[in-house]
């Protein structure tokens, strides 16, 4: 059995910088035509100079693969002139609440005060991408942020708001209430629950933010993905950290899934008899939401078992050491 995916897209990706960028970026560029690259570096991507330098570094790291990094800005108060000048260089602006995840210390501390900037994004037609979590109890952080999404969806009806890496049934339900809301969901949140990370011996390589939730939340995410909900897009949130930062007392948040995304998605959709909807989930929906015309790239997957390596460089991948029933067997650009 085979499936051909046309211009698969990863709508939420962390590529890091330096040696880590050179290690992980080729795995995304190999299988995807393009990816939305997150801006939470140190320092963050907040200017044309920083954005241009980062895009060039990504291009050097992914060569010779045909791959487009879709760049984002780290949200801060911007002038209309600055956003207008950068509009053609970015796919969106990413909002991080202050301190809510990796490298978000310079994020937004007052969600009301940022609304004039959101009004500029609405006027300029620039999508807003959001890490939607509060600072409350860890299992409730996404749920506590949902009223913020509702407020902004109502107040800025022409603003495309992307709820990034959703993890709850409540977030899925919100998609059907506001036409200007879209969302990404990760591979790992379609496959695991909190029990997989902490129900037995702690598995630090499954620790991410937002953390995996309850079985009923996973079921709601999976149902929406398998049904190819038109405003739900695949975004891996692949977020590599070296093994010494994962297997440590102060474990870093992030799951590195880039090398296994498409094979495991094919396995998951085939298992549920929904392989015909995988194209929409990994490309067509994102093209419609963002108005994208990606580079032509055909990726062929076949039912063919292979074992995921224990390491890629200094990074432990999702599904390390396990067998995946599907494999990428051809890529044509």
Spatial neighbors of 31 by CB under 8 A, at least 6 apart, are 8, 258, 261, 262, 299, 328, 331
**Angstrom distance (rounded) from CA 208 to CA 198:** 12
Radius of gyration, alpha carbons of the chain? 18
Q: CB–CB of 27/10 below 8 Å? A: no
How many other C-beta atoms lie within 10 A of the C-beta of residue 272?
13
| Residue 183: strand pairing partners | 163, 232
Phi/psi-derived region of residue 42, left when phi > 0, alpha when psi is between -120 and 50, beta in every other case: beta
What phi and psi, each to the nearest 5 degrees, are found at residue 297? -160, 125
**Angstrom distance (rounded) from CA 146 to CA 148:** 5
**Angstrom distance (rounded) from CA 218 to CA 326:** 22
**Angstrom distance (rounded) from CA 249 to CA 254:** 15
- Sign of the CA dihedral with 139 first, then 142, 147, and 148 last: positive
Coil, strand or helix: which one is 255? strand
Q: Is 196 a catalytic residue?
A: no
**Catalytic member of 176, 237, 310, 325:** 237
Buried b (16+ CB within 10 A) or exposed e, 21-49: bbbbbbbbbbbbbbbbbbbbbeebbbeee
| Residue 128: strand pairing partners | 93, 161
| Catalytic center residues | 237
């Amino acid at each position: 059995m085979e499936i051909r995916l046309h211009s698969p897209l990863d709508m939420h990706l962390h590529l890091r910088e330096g040696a880590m960028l050179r290690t992980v970026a080729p795995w995304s560029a190999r299988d995807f035509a393009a990816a939305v690259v997150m801006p939470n570096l140190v320092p963050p991507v907040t200017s044309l100079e920083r954005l241009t330098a980062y895009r060039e570094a990504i291009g050097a790291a992914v060569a010779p693969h045909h791959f487009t990094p879709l760049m984002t800005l780290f949200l801060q108060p911007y002038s209309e002139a600055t956003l207008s000048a950068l509009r053609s260089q970015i796919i969106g602006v990413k909002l991080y609440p202050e301190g809510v995840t990796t490298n978000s210390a310079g994020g937004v501390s007052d969600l009301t005060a940022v609304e004039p900037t959101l009004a500029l994004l609405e006027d300029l037609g620039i999508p807003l991408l959001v890490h939607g979590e509060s600072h409350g109890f860890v299992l409730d952080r996404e749920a506590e942020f949902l009223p913020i999404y509702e407020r902004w969806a109502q107040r800025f009806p022409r603003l495309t708001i992307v709820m990034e890496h959703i993890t709850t049934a409540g977030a899925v339900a919100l998609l059907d209430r506001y036409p200007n809301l879209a969302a990404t969901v990760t591979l790992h949140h379609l496959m695991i629950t909190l029990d997989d990370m902490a129900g037995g011996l702690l598995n630090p390589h499954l620790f991410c933010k937002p953390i995996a939730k309850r079985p009923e939340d996973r079921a709601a995410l999976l149902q929406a993905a398998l049904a190819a909900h038109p405003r739900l897009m695949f975004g891996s949130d692949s977020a590599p950290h070296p093994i010494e930062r994962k297997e440590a007392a102060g474990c870093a948040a992030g799951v590195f899934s880039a090398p296994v995304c498409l094979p495991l998605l094919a396995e998951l959709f085939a298992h549920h008899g929904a392989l015909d909807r995988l194209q929409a989930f990994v490309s067509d929906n994102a093209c419609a939401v963002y108005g994208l015309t990606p580079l032509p790239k055909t990726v062929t997957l076949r039912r063919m078992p292979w074992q995921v390596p224990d390491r890629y460089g200094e990074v432990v991948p999702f599904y390390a050491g396990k067998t995946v029933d599907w494999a990428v067997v051809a890529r044509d650009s």
